[in-house]
Amino acid sequence: MPVANTLELVRAAQAGGYAIPAVNIVDELSMRAVVEAAEEARSAIILQTSVKTVKASGAEPLSFLASHLADRSSVPVALHLDHCPDRAVITTAIEGGWSSVLFDASDRPLDAARAETAEVCAEAHAAGVTVESEIENIVGVEDGVGSDELTHSYSVPTLLEVAQETGTDLLAPQLGTAHGLYKADPVLRFDRVREIRALSDIPVVLHGGTGLSPADFGEFIAAGVGKINISTALKLAYMKACKAHLEEAERVGKWEPVKMFDQVKLALVTEIGAHIALFGSGGKI
């Protein structure tokens, strides 16, 4: 299969009462592991790249590998650019084979966010690429993008009016979650998802998935969330598996990188498999 259409995957999830996991990958190993977890569970999957990952690995190799994995996969695999305030990188992704982009205009005042989101939607849609839009910021700094302070917040009617006017496909609103590990219990805004879904059929994206409980995920999905982003959980599983392997390598005096890759991959397949089970997307393909 070629890389999947993000909007179609999320619309199907929303209609079916489940959410598609969108997992921030960091390299080839994590891309392979996430796709393997999706295949094992018979779930569609979205591979997400931060701008930092695009800059570190290069757009061409990432897109080539995603398309190679999607071609050989028995489940739909989409490629999504996560939080990107940089229009040049957005264009690179649109022209480079990504299924979708998150144009993050939450650092702009409302008028600029509105005007630029409309431009990005026009550019992306001409290439068949889905646009997720964020005009109010989701707290937490991820891979160098974002802020720990709430800088822009709007009413639901304003969010929907801007989404409709600009042609936004997927909406990323503030839902009380944050990127990274929670330092205090979040005040989750299930009510905002319900309000959006009562007024519009635009698919809603939940950011900051790491650290939420199974009950939280269940309530967000029941309220109508169709795409859930996971990044920190993958990074933790990756690094902890490396650490465990390296400690053991030191103890026994055997240094085999490929064995470490196998251990990391297994840890990631297990971690992402657990999220797929929580999001209800398994067994749908």
Q: How far is the CB of 180 from ligand 13P (least distance, A)?
A: 6
In whole angstroms, give the CA distance from residue 22 to residue 105: 20
Q: Which stretch binds ligand 13P (CB under 6 A): 65-73, 106-114, 160-168, 223-231?
A: 223-231
User: Token pair for residue 7?
Assistant: 């909007």
* Beta-bridge partner residues of 131: 101
E strands in 158-282: 170-171, 204-206, 225-230
Q: Give 143-146's long-range contacts (Cβ < 8 A, gap of 24+).
A: 143/24, 143/50, 143/51, 143/52, 143/53, 143/82, 143/83, 144/51, 144/52, 145/50, 145/51, 145/52, 145/83, 145/84, 145/85, 145/104, 146/83, 146/104, 146/106, 146/179
Query: Is position 166 an interface residue for ligand 13P (rule: CB under 6 A)?
Result: no
Q: Which of 6, 232, 267, 272 binds ligand 13P (CB under 6 A)?
A: 232
Contact 46, 21 (CB under 8 A): yes
Catalytic residue among 27, 71, 82, 216: 82
Nearer to ligand 13P among residue 19 and residue 233 (C-beta) = 233
Nearer to ligand 13P among residue 236 and residue 266 (C-beta) = 236
185 is an active site residue: no
Per-residue interface string for the shown chain with ligand 13P, residues 42-81, x marking contact by CB under 6 A: ----------------------------------------
User: Token pair for residue 203?
Assistant: 């698919």
> 10 Å Cβ neighbour count for 113?
23
Task: Give residue 47's region: left, alpha or beta (phi > 0; psi -120 to 50).
Answer: beta
Q: Which stretch binds ligand 13P (CB under 6 A): 58-66, 87-95, 128-136, 207-215?
A: 207-215
Q: Which of 36, 39, 132, 142 binds ligand 13P (CB under 6 A)?
A: 142
Q: Which of 173, 208, 226, 273 binds ligand 13P (CB under 6 A)?
A: 208
Q: Which stretch binds ligand 13P (CB under 6 A): 62-70, 93-101, 106-114, 228-236?
A: 228-236
Residue 46 in 3-state DSSP? strand
Nearer to ligand 13P among residue 63 and residue 210 (C-beta) = 210
Per-residue interface string for the shown chain with ligand 13P, residues 168-187, x marking contact by CB under 6 A: -----------xx-------
Query: Is position 275 an interface residue for ligand 13P (rule: CB under 6 A)?
Result: no
The residues that are catalytic are 82
Residue ranges in contact with ligand 13P by CB under 6 A: 24, 82-83, 142, 179-180, 207-210, 229-233
